[in-house]
Amino acid sequence: MAPHAEVGTGFSDGNAPTTNKDLFTVNSPNVVYTDKEINTKYTYRTTLVNETADGKFEAVPKETLYDFKVERKVPKTGMMLIGWGGNNGTTVTAGIIANRRGLTWDTREGPRAANYYGSVVMGSTMKLGTNAKTAKDVNIPFHDVLPMVHPNDLAVGGWDISGMNLSAAMDRAAVLEPTLKVQVKKEMTEMVPLPSIYYPDFIAANQEDRADNLIPGSKASLAHVEQIRKDIRDFKAKHNLDKVIVQWTANTERFAELLPGVNDTADNLMKAIENGHEEVSPSTVFAVASILENAPFINGSPQNTFVPGAIEFAEKHNAFIGGDDFKSGQTKMKSALVDFMINAGIKLTSIASYNHLGNNDGKNLSSHKQFRSKEISKSNVVDDMVEANTVLYKEGEHPDHTVVIKYMPAVGDNKRALDEYYAEIFMGGHQTISSPDDSSLFNVCEDSLLASPLIIDLVLIAEMMTRIQWRAQATDGAATKDFGNFHSVLSILSYMLKAPLTPPGTPVINALAKQRAALTNIFRACVGLQPESDMTLEHKLF
């Protein structure tokens, strides 16, 4: 086997990238810039609601004062992927190389150039405000709101149960154009994943023929945790990194059974790992190792990696975690359409979703236990939107929702997603949203090309959150608390994930508009800007 190697850091002289030059500054007494930090005093406005004895509501506006501080220095950052040799891992690695080198390549539709389309951070904008002279909106790249890592500067490495080098693995994945692959072949041939852990009961039996690059042992152990920790430390030292973000991009696991005394608390989980309990999954072992190395860990697959004990473990170590399951094609479309329909007062009564795909993810999901993990994550995406509308849906009422996934090798990575949305409208009428032939909404998703920018977004935003601290300002003579991090569970990542993980006891938000607004407005708060209201009163009062 070739020696282990990773993508170069992208730093030409071994130094950290230059700190972002501010595209804008905020002229406010509540915002102070230093060489190291942005310091902000922020007034957060919300509404508390009390229910009266006669079933009516009393709305009480509330203001809370917060201090934010953001480290301005952009750290040297690495991204380690579990499943590096899979479709997503090889695609995102080739994409970063292509962008870093400014590559172009020929296709039968004409020439193409490297880009980061599909990335919220790199491909979208945010309204900064209104031009003082022209009264037109001023929109800036999302990446320039705060000083963020650029994906071209990421060091990339990781683990895989297959020891195939990334060039060969890229060919096996059959995602990218041959004219692009030939240009990144040399670099990717030198990249070989680190050995990974493999517990056969957690992924489909049809994956066994790939499993030739393994850390010894077929069930959880402290030795596995320590080896993964060492891999993270070695990667960090090799590339002289300040931070490492770890992300699960590997196959969907079956759900781990939640058992009292096994994975219900942090202490019990560690004992279960030590004892090699059969209900500790590989992804949970990776999460525990990452937490111990203070490396944010993100789960991009639908399994229940973050059992209660894992969440408590992250909280105890003040470490960041996020998940679950990349929200790329069909589910993002579903989130948008359901949000639109219910907010328009249309009563959605059924959703039928059919998928067929031919990549290795589809092969793994042909096993029932692994499919069940995916079915749960794809089915729950409408729950909060339904619960929010008590006019359309009475207590316990919910649309029928069916999800089918079939493995069809011929279509490769070009997943076919067919949806039909059936709804009740005015005076007993019905609306069906489907394709022109009235059979389905047909969505062809080049799966890995949609997931790869999400992988990048999750890394860049998770890293950014490690540099943001906040505290509540003193009120009524109370002492001001010390600055602290956001909660260990990074719910701010929800826009990129099908089954958003939230801190215990907090609501799950699946509506795309709310998820995007939360991400945008937290970043705005960090620079002392209020949420954009879009009321445009300045255009209506003269």
* DSSP result, 280-323: --HHHHHHHHHHHTT--EEE-SSS--S-HHHHHHHHHTT--EEE
State whether 495 and 527 are in the same domain: yes
State whether 237 and 359 are in the same domain: no
HEC sequence for 196-249: ECCCHHHCCHHHHHHCCCECCCCCCCHHHHHHHHHHHHHHHHHCCCCEEEEEEC
Tell me the CB-side half-sphere exposure of residue 491, using CA atoms within 13 A.
18
* pLDDT score at 76: 98
* pLDDT score at 169: 96
State whether 391 and 457 are in the same domain: no
- Report CA Rg, the chain: 24
With a cut of 70, say whether residue 368 has pLDDT above it: no
* pLDDT score at 378: 56
State whether 90 and 203 are in the same domain: yes
At residue 66, φ and ψ (nearest 5 deg) are -125, 150
State whether 536 and 427 are in the same domain: no
Task: Cite the beta strand spans of 358-407 per DSSP E.
Answer: 400-407
8 Å CB contact between 273 and 288: yes
Run of H or E residues at 414: strand 414-424
Cα gap 460→463, rounded to integer Å = 5
> In the structure, what pLDDT confidence band is assigned to residue 365 with cuts at 50, 70 and 90?
low
State whether 219 and 276 are in the same domain: yes
The tens digit of pLDDT for each residue in 300-313 reads 998 999 999 999 99
State whether 350 and 426 are in the same domain: yes
* pLDDT score at 477: 58
Instruction: For residues 193-204, give the mean pLDDT.
Output: 93
For residue 112, the SS3 value is strand
Of the segments 5-9, 108-112, 228-232, 338-342, which one has the largest average pLDDT value? 228-232
Contacts of 225 (CB under 8 A, 6+ apart): 273, 285, 288, 289, 292
8 Å CB contact between 271 and 263: no
State whether 361 and 251 are in the same domain: no
Tokens for 13, please give them: 């002289």
8 Å CB contact between 147 and 20: yes
Cα gap 242→78, rounded to integer Å = 8
State whether 245 and 351 are in the same domain: no
8 Å CB contact between 363 and 206: yes
State whether 441 and 457 are in the same domain: no
State whether 75 and 193 are in the same domain: yes
For residue 456, the SS3 value is helix
With a cut of 50, say whether residue 188 has pLDDT above it: yes
With a cut of 80, say whether residue 444 has pLDDT above it: no
How many residues are given for the chain?
Answer: 542
User: How many Å from the N-terminal Cα to the C-terminal Cα in the chain?
Assistant: 73
Active-site amino acid positions: 325, 374, 415, 498
The number of distinct structural domains making up the chain is: 2
> In the structure, what pLDDT confidence band is assigned to residue 395 with cuts at 50, 70 and 90?
confident
Within 10 angstroms of residue 106's Cβ, the number of other Cβ atoms is 12
Print the domain residue range for 123. Answer: 1-328+447-475+483-542
Instruction: For residues 14-31, give the mean pLDDT.
Output: 73
- The sheet carrying 468-472 orders its strands as 31-33, 37-51, 57-71, 468-472
Run of H or E residues at 156: strand 155-160
State whether 358 and 321 are in the same domain: no
Whichever domain contains 43, its CATH number is 3.40.50.720
With a cut of 70, say whether residue 337 has pLDDT above it: yes
Whichever domain contains 413, its CATH number is 3.30.360.10
pTM: predicted TM-score of the whole model, two decimal places: 0.86
8 Å CB contact between 331 and 307: no
Within 10 angstroms of residue 400's Cβ, the number of other Cβ atoms is 10
8 Å CB contact between 16 and 75: yes
